[in-house]
Structure 1
Amino acid sequence: MKKIYLLLALALVQFYAFAQTGSIRGTVTVKGKPLEFATAALKGTQYGTTTNEQGVFEIKNIKYGTYQLIISAIGYRNITKSVTVSEAKFFQELTLQGEELENSLAEVVVTGTMKEVSKLESAVPVEIYTPVFFKRNPVPNLFESLQNINGIRPQLNCNVCNTGDIHINGLEGPYTMIMIDGMPIVSGLSTVYGLSGIPSALIERVEVVKGPASTLYGSEAVGGLINVITKKPSSAPLVSADVMGTSWSEFNTDLGVKYKVGEKAQSLFGLNYFNFQRPIDKNGDGFTDITLQNRISLFNKISFDRKDNRVFSIGGRYVYENRWGGQMQWTPKDRGSNEVYAESIYTKRWEVIGAYQLPIREKITFQFSANGHNQDSYYGTTPFAAQQYIGFGQFTWDKKIAEKHDLLVGTALRYTYYDDSTPATSLDNVNAPSKVVLPGIFAQDEISLSANHKLLLGLRYDYNSIHGSILTPRLNYKWTSADKKNVLRASFGNGYRVANVFTEDHAALTGARKVEFTEELKPERSWNGNLNYVRKFFLSNGSFVGLDATAFYTFFNNRIIPDYLTDPNKIIYSNLAGNAVSKGISLNIDFSLANGLKVMTGATAMDVFQREDDGAGNLVKMTQLLTEKFTGVWSVSYSFQQIGLSVDYTGNLYGPMKLPVLGPLDPRPEYSPWWSIQNIQLTKKFNNGLEIYGGVKNLLNFTPTKDAIARAFDPFDKGVTFDDNGQVVPTPNNPYALTFDPSYVYAPNQGIRAFAGVRYNLFK
């Protein structure tokens, strides 16, 4: 009987406890759309859950009391609301409007499949970076802003003029396609000079695809692509401004203005102006540490309102830049002389891009772009003049067939005209500009095998007017777990590239080396396999942890590799008699804690090499120049929301890379040291849209050694002795048999500096 009484007592206690609990139910939306996988948690308790596909959450069996309800999702501002669960409020129904901070979960991507799709559903892994990410380390151009993205490294190619390109997973700049709004606007000449001057006030986001994308985008998308997507005028601020200066006397201005054009069109105008006119020589080698620049970029984009929200937009950009680097005493009157060395570059560039959806029932869109690039340069006494014109147009048909097939079919035509003053565009000493016509057709089918399995098949055929037919297939597979917290993507594809010597290596035009071709260059071909795994952890206290791991392997045939080592006075171009490989693993880890701390960190370990025939039929492995085996990046941010103050600590770490030394007597190390660039920033936000920020860049004051420029004191090789074969002869004045050469470069020469700026955004 006692046992029965005890059981009854326990039942009464449980009933009483249950009777003293209630529930909270709510819906979370952003811009009117449900926010999936947001975390709803009661601060300081174990009560918590996540929102479903409709943005709905429900927390049950909550003890009576007053709590702080926290709604959080990576990429969005936290929502905090006081809620009371009591007998009078046994059940609460809430509707919460989230404030978007930066896209990460509910975002739409277009680069991987050339159509809008949520990042979660994309069969192609696409990384997204918004202005919030770039503001953590503000810089005056897109080239520098990519330095804190895992697996991407802006590589300087010259110590004097500071031009460079973008490496993805160890592959040089010519393997990276840069696009604006999906158009291949940045290529050839502008791969070196066109990455500057894109106004940051107009950037909506930057999408990155690592691995070949030639099936959709054709030549140059071999190592990966970077798509700069500009803002739609409808969602842009009425006025935006960002003005920044540094203790090195650098000055950068970004402006954006939205205005109407008639009743059915909105326009967005942007301006970027960068000025640096103070010669600085901290390392004492007699040369400017960084180039002096005067650059202005104008951008305007117009979007038209059309029936059924059909797309029609057109945009244009103009860039002018005057830059020079060289001996400190240089003036413009010394341009091209043999008395004072400098590299002086005038650049004029225009671009037009647009998209128009046909007024028919089917979703057929015409996209087009055109650009012209004119360059007038002197590298010491060596002139370099070049013109490049590219016209591009393509039709795409986006068609959903039944429930399982999502088809995209397209046809494209690209025309490239290129002419310069080097042997690259001459034939028997007669000028012969390069003219390439590249028509192509492509198709892809995204097949939904089931709710959790998706397969993407793609195939492209191009006909290059010089190199003939080129076929590029690809296959992608995606598996998603039932709770959508685990995603596995596997991809296999082919890429190709047709060489443009100017983009192969800027050192070809420094005036220190001659260009030599041993054969007619053939298109490069690559085969790539990627395996990507994403795991999301939603913690009950409102925190989030995300893991993103990738293994990659790329195999090249006919790879074009410039040879610096055979002759220190030449760069010799030829197709590799062998093969080349880029392989490695990368890992990204993101933390978004309920207390406001956000951490983004990543690391990539890779091995990039070529196997070359030694003439005896043996393949000899050689490490690729200027390519690190390890790179790491991080971004740590914390917000003091009560006072509107945030702190950002960003940085990167690079392992040793093989450097282009000038022969066996060169005393400079063959490998670079481990090095790191780290920055810290404070930002104060006000309620009226005003922000004030400032901090310190390159906290460790790391710079390369001052002997990075070989024989900087003799840039015209007046004290160098050559033999009858053009080889350098060691002499008492030149015991190491060196010539002037600025290509021994792996890190920027700019040391520690303070910066400060102000931002302002005015919305209607």
Structure 2
Amino acid sequence: MRSHSLFKKNNLRNLMLLASLQAATLMNVPMASADDDDIEEVLVISSRTKATLDDSPMRVQVLNEEELYEKANMKPGDIRMVLNESTGIQVQQTSPTSFNSSIRIQGLDGRYTQLLRDGLPIYSGFSGSLGLLQIAPLDLQQVEVVKGASSTLYGGGAIAGLVNLISKRPGETPETSLMLNGTSARGLDVSGFHSRQSDSHGFTLFGSYNRGDAYDPADNGLTAIPEFERVTVTPQWFYTVSDDTDLDVGIGFIDESRLGGSIDYVEGRAPDEYFESNDTQRMYSRLNLNHALESGLRLTLKSAYSVFDRSLEIPDFVFSGKQTSTFNELTLANDEGEGRWVLGLNAVTEKFDQDQAQVGFNHDYSEETVGAFGQYTRELSSLVVLEGGLRADSHSDYGSFILPRISVLLLPMDDLTMRIGGGYGYKTPNLFITEAEEIHFRNLEPIDPALFEGETSKGVNFDINHRLEITEELSLSTNFLVFYTQIDDALEIVESGEIYRFNQLDTAVKTDGAELNLTLSFSELRYLFGYTYVDARKETASGDVDLPLVSQHRVNQVVMWEREDDFRVGFEAYYFSEQNRENDTAGRSYWTFGLMMEKTLSEQVTAFLNFENFTDSRQTRYENIYSGSLADPVFRDIYAPLDGRVINGGVRVRF
């Protein structure tokens, strides 16, 4: 462990247990016991400095590799389950036939959450609600979630928070993993990962093939899961230039065809019925250069270039185009000593070229943002750590934004930590929001930057972590969080006849609530309980109105029996309270239940079998999800699963 004045107290071991506590209670990861001889520190990448989970004043939730391993067994093809089963996060399905989904953190729309890969914004914009469906978890080392305004460190868009996907890097020992999975919903997933380090060179390669046939468990003639086929390839090269300098360069390629709608249309029997087709290609390159200066400072250069080409087609309408984006950033950081700091400059560009736009509905745009930011972390004493940050951004269309942030870490007792923090955020108006996806961008007037302002926010959160050692084998870990966020000048879409227009609210959108996580551990057994309360609303002249498709109350419970290198059995139960819908009655509350089993067959081979939603909670069991005919359906808002009961199983091989 590196030297740090926070750890110079005699209770080093308890503080290290507390680091494991925070990872376990916040994100349901296994936690080391007091008898463990070696407790690994969790390094937090999203904090920008080389801070560990327990000494970072910024609240970060971490899913480690073991938790990702478990979730990958349940859903190897994408990361929706990784996020949806976490307290305070709701993955919302946005299309009734194509399975598109977006992330809601603490009740806020998906456009307010940044999805990053190793700190790089390569999933934004037109990919929107397809991004979650196109990221497989096998090559991830950990996932970090920051809730609340994070724009100070990562720029516009992180009003609700950010999800940072951390890739695996080559280790001292070569690693090869293969996974084969099949589902009762006619799905197939084949994934492979390889990493190797040889002298100064390292290499990782991830590839996957995912496909599924059209699936209609409700027998209502519509695809709950569309027909799709996807290929992913992401190689990355790591080079140690010298003792002080290292470089990594990577590229990525994703190609997917997705066809949903009428089952008869998909299977070629009814060419006049409803369909929704998405053909996408994503290509990106990335570069990261680190250099340690003689003064002990660290200089980092990051760069990314991304192209996303998508064609979205429904009957009698096609919306297609190419989004090109670049990201370049230079930072200087001091990671050691009692005062840690980072200073940075970055430049972001984004361009969208629409194909064959109709007159009056041309959505082409080009925009640039340049910004400067700084963050300083200081230990005021062995019990108090203060962190402050400031960002100044200048946008080509929407002017300047000044974004302060402050966080405080308190260590009043050996087994107790508290964090309080708050900050400002912003999001520039953009075509690619959930409401626009839901109408397939049809008859939607473009945004005129001269008529709009940037959405701005302010928010605060406070959380407490506590660990109680009841006996040598029995322990209880608790995390409690309260939060508040307010967004001004929020963007929405209003309907005027057959035309849709963007509009900016004169009143505020507000969300507040609380999260509670409990972890009870006894020998080989663990019980995890999570509860989320969210009050998300917008102000109107006649009073506050609840935001649609937000569960005010959510409960997640997991009972896990695990014997290391032998087997794992888990039972899961999730509750969602009723959700309001636009121009419709509220959806009903529901439970989903899951059972997962994993057996180690040898040092290399593990078999798994999962029964997801085995009680078949499904919106199509409660109501019809559309009115009209299959040639011209009018869909209701989706608040509950449509795929229902799904069984999946397979094997994972490690070499």
Rounded to whole Å, the distance in 2 between the matches of 1:606 and 1:74 is 24
Residue pairs, 1:591-606, within 5 angstroms? 591-593=520-522, 595-606=523-534
- Counterpart of 2:201, as a letter, is A
Tell me which residue corresponds to 2:380: 449
Matches within 5 A, 1:574-593: 574-593=503-522
Letter matched to residue 621 of structure 1:
D
Look up the match of 1:554.
485
2:215 matches 1:280: yes
- The aligned runs of 1:234-633 (5 Å cut-off) are 234=171, 237-259=174-196, 263-277=199-213, 279-308=214-243, 310-331=245-266, 339-358=272-291, 360-361=293-294, 362-399=297-334, 403-420=337-354, 429=360, 431=362, 433-483=364-414, 485-510=415-440, 514-516=443-445, 520-563=451-494, 571-593=500-522, 595-612=523-540, 618=541, 620-633=543-556
Distance in structure 2 (CA, Å) of the matches to 1:150 and 1:544 = 21
* Matched residue count: 633
SS at match of 2:264: coil
CA contact (8 A) 1:157 1:506 kept: no
State the 1:714 CA deviation.
Answer: 4.5
Q: Structure 1 residues 538, 469: closer, same or farther in 2, change over 3 A?
A: same
CA distance in 1, matches of 2:341, 2:216: 57
Q: Where do 5+ consecutive residues of structure 1 fail to align?
A: 1-28, 38-48, 56-72, 81-95, 613-617, 662-668, 717-739
2:145 matched to which residue of 1?
Answer: 208
Q: Secondary structure at the match of 2:637?
A: coil
Instruction: Report the secondary structure of 1:626's partner residue.
Output: coil
1:132 alignment counterpart: 66
SS of the equivalent of 1:450 reads: coil
8 Å contact kept, 1:244–1:758:
yes
Rg comparison, structure with higher value: 1
CA change 1:422–1:629 in 2 (3 A) is farther
Aligned counterparts of 1:54 and 1:327: Cα–Cα separation in 2: 55
Shift, 1:571, TM fit: 4.3
Q: Retained in 2: the 8 A contact 1:388–1:417?
A: yes
Aligned positions of 1:76-155 closer than 5 A? 98=38, 106-111=41-46, 113-137=47-71, 138-139=74-75, 140-155=77-92
Distance 1:74 1:282, change over 3 A: closer
Deviations 1:204-241 (A, max 9, x none): 00000000100010111110000000111126752101
Alpha-carbon distance, 1:259 to partner: 3.6
- Quote the residue 2:21 is aligned against: none
> How far apart are the structure 1 equivalents of 2:322 and 2:99?
21
Q: Distance in 2 between matches of 1:346 and 1:201?
A: 24
Residue identity opposite 1:598 in structure 2: R
Q: 1:120 to 1:379 in 2, by over 3 A?
A: same
The CA deviation at 1:416 is: 0.5
Distance 1:472 1:143, change over 3 A: same
CA displacement, residues 496-553 of structure 1 (integer Å, 9 cap, x when unaligned): 0012222242544448x63247973321000101111111223431333211111101
- Aligned equivalents of 1:538 and 1:751: distance in 2? 40
Equivalent position of 1:60 in the other structure = none
Q: Provide Cα deviations, 1:422-459, integer angstroms capped at 9, x if missing partner.
A: 98xx8x73846211110000011112111111111111
Q: Which moved more, 1:514-523 or 1:492-501?
A: 514-523
C-alpha displacement of 1:700: 1.2
Query: Matched residues in 1 for 2:34 and 2:477: separation?
Result: 20
1:183 partner SS: coil
Change (3 A) 1:607 1:141: same
| CA–CA separation in structure 1 for the residues paired with 2:32 and 2:447 | 58
Distance 1:367 1:679 in 2: 41
Report Cα offsets for 1:150-203 as digits up to 9, x if no partner. Answer: 011110011021111100000111001000111112111223222233342211
Quick one: structure 1 residues 166 and 371, their matched pair in 2 at CA, closer, same or farther if it must change by over 3 Å?
same
Matching residue of 1:659: 581
User: Displacement of 1:568 after TM fit?
Assistant: 8.0
CA contact (8 A) 1:603 1:630 kept: yes
Say which SS state the counterpart of residue 233 (structure 1) adopts: coil
Cα contact 1:549–1:588 (8 A) shared by 2: yes
Tell me if structure 2 keeps the 8 A contact 1:267–1:300: yes
- In 1, Cα distance between the equivalents of 2:443 and 2:269? 23
Would you say the 8 A contact 1:213–1:224 is kept in 2? yes
SS of residue in 2 equivalent to 1:133: helix
Which of 594, 599, 618 is the aligned partner of 1:703?
618
Q: CA RMSD in A?
A: 2.9
Cα drift, residue 78 of structure 1: 6.3
1:649 aligned to 560, 565, 571, which one? 571
Residue aligned with 1:505, SS: helix
CA distance in 2 between counterparts of 1:698 and 1:349 reads 32
Other structure's SS at 2:473 match: coil
For residues 558-596 of structure 1, the C-alpha deviation after alignment (integer angstroms, 9 at most, x for no partner) is 011234xx6685544211021111110111112222x21
1: CA distance between counterparts of 2:579 and 2:467? 34
For 1:51, what is the secondary structure of its paired residue?
helix
TM-score normalised by the chain length of structure 2: 0.90
For 1:273 and 1:518, locate their aligned partners in 2 and report how far apart those are by CA, in whole Å.
38
Counterpart of 1:751 in structure 2 is 644
Change (3 A) 1:225 1:127: same
Q: How far apart in 1 are the matches of 2:518 and 2:106?
A: 18
CA distance, structure 2, for counterparts of residue 311 and residue 324 of structure 1: 43
- How far apart are the structure 2 equivalents of 1:235 and 1:206? 22
State the Cα distance separating 1:141 from its structure 2 match.
0.3
Q: 1:572 to 1:675 in 2, by over 3 A?
A: farther
Counterpart of 1:197 (choices 125, 134, 155) is 134
Contact kept in structure 2, 1:384 and 1:509, CA below 8 Å: no
Match of 1:173 in 2: 110
Deviations 1:22-79 (A, max 9, x none): xxxxxxx9xx999x99xxxxxxxxxxx9936799xxxxxxxxxxxxxxxxx9845669
Cα distance in 1 for residues equivalent to 2:394 and 2:409: 31
> Structure 1 CA distance, aligned partners of 2:533 and 2:429?
28
Matched-pair contact (CA < 8 Å) for 1:518–1:574: no
Distance apart, 1:418 and its partner CA: 1.5
Which residue identity does 2:560 align to in structure 1?
A: S
Residue aligning to 1:226: 163
- SS, match of residue 150 in structure 1: coil
Structure 2 residue identity aligned to 1:415: T
Return the structure number with greater relative CO, CA threshold 8 A, min gap 6: 2
Cα distance in 2 for partners of 1:556, 1:53 equals 37
> What SS class does the counterpart of residue 515 from structure 1 fall into?
coil
Counterpart selection for 1:688 from 594, 603, 607: 603
SS of corresponding position for 1:320: strand
Superposition deviation, residue 293 in structure 1: 1.1
What is the SS of the residue equivalent to 1:271? strand
Q: SS of the residue aligned with 1:415?
A: strand
Counterpart of 2:591 in structure 1 is: 676
Name the % identity.
Answer: 20
Give the 3-state SS of the residue equivalent to 1:161 in structure 2: coil
